[in-house]
Amino acid sequence: MYTDDDTLALFTEEGYDRTFEMNVKVSLLMSQAFVKQCTQGGRIVHLSTDTAQRMAGQILYGASKASLEALTRSMAIELGPKQITVNTVAPGPTQTGYIDKELEKLVMPTIPLGRLGKPEHIAETIAFLVSDCASWLTGQVIQVSGGHGV
């Protein structure tokens, strides 16, 4: 979630706690609960963003998503012996109603495929990751971004 105070100069401890709780702590707790009840393999899919590693102006959000991507890789190693795959989907600019015409004009030149993503693009990738077709895919951050942020 973008806020004007998500910069190095302006972030607050409260903002840090809120952002990391939502993006990291909740994912950890949900994954832990899943693993406790999982007896025969399974799938964990986290959600990040395609520019998690470089988000000036959204420093807390970017750092929290980068942390989630690191957790994905570590969890994949830890949970592999239990046949649980762990991956992250990192969407690019996706039209969910927040991208107005002005923002669209700014972002379109940065998308090699020349179009905004749709929620279905993200959902289809997640459906693949939880299917048997992805049973040997783990520890990956998959950018679903039309080439944005590559």
Catalytic residue from among 2, 16, 61, 98: 61
Separation CA 3–CA 16 (nearest Å): 12
Could you identify the residue written with the tokens 């993200």?
A: 122
CB neighbour burial string for 65-85, b if at least 16 within 10 angstroms, e if fewer:
bbbbbebbbebbeebeeeebb
Tokens linked to 51: 């520019």
Torsion of CA 13, 9, 23, 2, to 10 degrees: 120
Q: Please report, as a single letter, which amino acid is at residue 108.
A: M
Does the active-site annotation cover 61? yes
Q: Catalytic residues, which ones? A: 61
